[in-house]
A and B are shown apart, each in its own frame.
Chain A
Amino acid sequence: MAKLLRLVATRLGLGLLTLLVVSVLIFFAVELLPGDLAEAVLGQAATEETVEAMRRQLGLDRPAPVRYLEWLGGALRGDFGTSLISGAPVGEAIATRFANTLFLAAYAAVIAVPLAILLGVLVALLRNSIFDRVANVATLTSISSPEFFVGYILILFLSIRTGWFPSNASLSGDMSLTDQLYRAFLSALTLVLVVTAHMMRMTRAAIINLLASPYIEMARLKGVPPWRRIVRHALPNAWAPIINVVALNLAYLITGVVLVEVVFVYPGIGQLLVDAVAKRDFPIVQACCLIFAATFILLNLAADVGAILTNPRLRHPK
């Protein structure tokens, strides 16, 4: 157990190091943008004095490494600076948006992950049957279609034609949970369709990969029926690749859903990022990117730990 904790601690340390490197990249990528930041922000209103004032206000007259350290120090305390457009603290602007994104991601994940694993086990059990082939074609189709297209199709059939669900998923804080779930349903469903396919195919492949192992043949020669061979004998050994692909998809649900948010007018962090880029609100862009990087690193760490926890050789050393 101590060994496991040490492993987790090492991974966490490495994750923090990665995050530090990423923060450097994010900060200086903005620096590298052509033109003067102050000019860009002011746009048409740029006169020599206003630009000079803006530069001083933004602290651009000081060297970049100093500003980086200040920014990093602030970020560590949760202070990402103030928005260039609204003047409000970045943390506040992001907090509600990020909470919305997490809500939608959790909503989709709670449906998609169990569904994907269940379907994966099922198609592994019924491999090469009609059911397997239909599932194969359906998942390939959903992987190959862009998510905004899937979204519009769902709006067409479940919203416009039938009127069952609202196509506009804008939330507000005073809605009840059921109301929120109802409003966000189509966006969640779109995401479910996009990520389920990937996870299900990996589950199927990971299980089928193990079916040629001697211990599966042993189970078969012990008279263990097919469903039990898959669920009890193959699945426990297939967790590592499945957990990895689940983690990747969860990361996508948090960081990659801009298009879906746009289609359903969902007030998530993706939209915020796109808006901020368009308006050159760089403190927000930097904060969003840092959050995305942290999300990826944390989920990958979780996947590594999960893979270790499901490996009996590591869990029960000699």
Chain B
Amino acid sequence: MSDAREVLLEIRDLRIDGYTGEEWQPIIKGVDLTLHKGEVLGLIGESGAGKSTIGAASMGFARDGTRISGGSIVFDGLDLTTAGREEKRKLRGKRIAYVAQSAAASFNPAHKIIDQHTEAPVMYGLQSRAEAEADAMALYEQLRLPNPDEIGFRYPHQVSGGQLQRAMTAMAMACRPDLIIFDEPTTALDVTTQIEVLAAIREIVERFDTAAIYITHDLAVVAQMADTIKVLLKGEEVDEAPTREMLTDPKQDYTKSLWAVRSFKRQQKPLAGPDEVPVVSVRGVSAAYGKVKVLEDVSFDIHRGRTVAVVGESGSGKSTTARCITGLLPPTRGEILFEGQALPPRYTDRTKDQLRHAQMIYQMADTALNPKIRISEIIGRPAQFYSGLSGAALRKRVEELLELIELDPAEFYDRLPPELSGGQKQRIGIARALAAEPAFIICDEVTSALDQLVAEGILKLLDRLQKELDLSYMFITHDLATVRAIADEVVVMQNGRVVEHGPKDEMFRPPHHPYTDLLLSSVPEMDPDWLTHLLDARGVDNVGSAETAL
């Protein structure tokens, strides 16, 4: 559709090296890219695919520790690989703008939002300070920020994440650039907030006919935003096609596998009988951090061999519930039962046997594993502590556990966490929890830091372990696709309360609690028209205020 339009950016045989501490290794291995004026290109791939590196290179920028080693990047007739430092600098912000993943980290904490917004247009002499401020307010209004005349005069920490991300999009628009690089702009946001930002970005890009490179690892998101999708794998292009064609008829095996990830779904188990004693029972629990109440009368049961998914936005109290169950945060009211017996509220008062039965797996395997301790000890310590194993028996147990999580004991026994990939680290986290031989495991966002293919592997492993060891899971997540895949029952939390609770099949069938409905409808779908239809259904004007309306 854009063939007749003028070419804006042309990248040919781009090669970029990264410095690994010893030598330069290729990370982008000859990528071509053509972008026409007003076109939106989606760049998709797993972490390490080089999406973000290509995004930065489109501005003639190589991050520290990387270098552009070959090829050409021609932006509107100027080759950025040979252009001078000043020539490149003067394009940035003015003709090519950038929207980063974390707006909270990318706004300077020391200056008001509007001061950062007006910096580029005033610096380039495009507008006076007063004009730039008026324009900023107009953009804030177009992006449906609340109080557009006032919000810019706040400091970044005084504004919510979703609003900041829109303010950053406004900032990128300040000089009306020809091209904007969006580098995972909604990855850090909750689904309900993500919708507003996606809608705002799409609308403003269309209004000003700006070309964009939209980088993400979320297929459903890129389907809403891009005219064309390019799939990357390990620094090389795998596939490129117009969005609809790519979605309906993927050509390459890798692309198909990416598409297939979301199809994993295990059978829902029959509900537990009314007489069955739940493994864990949360009864009327309220909790507070100091004077701030975070949980209010939370109750639900988790039965043997079942998975209860706890879903909700950040700040809804999911992780606090987990802290109450494990005894890290004693509840102010209510109690936690384990197989019908009340547990002492504080973990320090619990017996070793009570402790062993509630284990945790964490979101960030990176920080949950001590980088200086060998795998054998990470897994061996809980086995020794809870089961009193030592010597050859301990070694045998660790090897068994490694086999259980599908890692070769001979290869991994003596290694250190930093030598492992993200998925492998998460498997070690699982083995560490299993070493205590628990009945119940809390999985706190265990897949949200992983790529989809790797995440699927972890979900399948957890499912297999559940069948083999008759484990119960409490699965904390904000990702409803994960819930669909593995849950038996679902608990929906909002502002520290349980708003809906029931078997999975019921939860995904209307009628819903309005909040559940909002959560469910906010999960992006692969249909490229999904966002348009959703906005029509909700009424466009409601989208911007969805956050405040709740």
Q: Give A contacts to B, CB under 8 Å.
A: 212-215, 217-225, 228, 232-233, 236-237, 312-313, 316, 318
**B330 on interface, CB distance cutoff 8 Å:** no
Residues of B near A214 (CB, < 8 A) are 100, 102, 105-106
Q: Within the assembled complex, what's the spacing in Å between the Cα atoms of A219 and B108?
A: 9
B174 to A, closest residue via Cβ? A222
With A and B bound together, what is the CA distance between A233 and B92 in angstroms? 17
**A contact face: mostly helix, strand, loop, or mixed:** helix
Contact in complex: B110, A237 (CB < 8 Å) = yes
In the assembled complex, which residues on chain A have CB atoms less than 8 Å from the CB atom of B107?
Answer: 215, 218
Mark the stretch among B71-79, B118-126, B242-250, B514-522 that contacts chain A: B118-126
Closest to B120 in A: A222
Contact between chains at B109 and A221 (CB < 8 Å): no
| Contact in complex: B119, A222 (CB < 8 Å) | yes
The answer to whether B92 and A316 have CB atoms under 8 Å apart is: no
B422 interfacial by beta-carbon distance below 8 Å: no
Q: A221-B61, A223-B120 are in contact. List 10 more A-B contacts (CB 8 A).
A: A217-B100, A219-B108, A221-B92, A222-B97, A222-B119, A223-B90, A223-B93, A237-B108, A237-B110, A312-B109
B3 within 8 A of A: no
Report the bound CA distance from A225 to B110 in whole Å: 18
What is the CB-to-nearest-CB distance from A217 to chain B, in angstroms, rounded to a whole number? Answer: 8
Q: How many A-B residue pairs have CB under 8 A?
A: 74
Residues of A within 8 A of B63 (CB): 217
Q: Is the CB of A225 within 8 A of B108?
A: no
**Min distance, Cβ A264 to any Cβ of chain B, angstroms:** 42
The answer to whether the Cβ of B155 comes within 8 Å of any Cβ in the partner chain is: yes
Decide if B105 touches A237 in the complex (CB within 8 Å): no
Partner of A223, one of B94, B106, B154, B157: B94
Residue among A215, A220, A221, A316 making CB contact with B105, cutoff 8 Å: A215
B59 and A221 contact, CB distance less than 8 A: yes
Contacts of B171 in A (CB 8 A): 222
Which single residue of chain A is at the shortest CB-CB distance from B110?
A: A236
Chain B residue with the shortest CB-CB distance to A317: B158
Q: Mark B258-272, 1 if CB is under 8 A from A, else 0.
A: 000000000000000
Question: Is the beta-carbon distance between B98 and A218 smaller than 8 angstroms?
Answer: yes
Given that A222-B120, A318-B158 are contacting pairs, would A213 and B105 also be in contact in the complex, using a CB cutoff of 8 Å?
yes
Say whether A313 contacts B120, CB under 8 Å.
no
Shortest Cβ distance from A273 into chain B, in angstroms? 42
Q: Do A224 and B110 have beta carbons less than 8 Å apart?
A: no
Q: For the complex of A and B, list the 7 residue pairs with the smallest distance between their C-beta atoms, beginning with the closest.
A: A222-B93, A223-B93, A236-B110, A223-B92, A221-B98, A214-B105, A215-B108
Q: Which residues of A contact B59 (CB under 8 A)?
A: 221
A271 smallest CB distance to B (angstroms): 44
- Whether the Cβ atoms of A233 and B120 lie closer than 8 Å is no
B123 A223 Cβ-Cβ under 8 A: yes
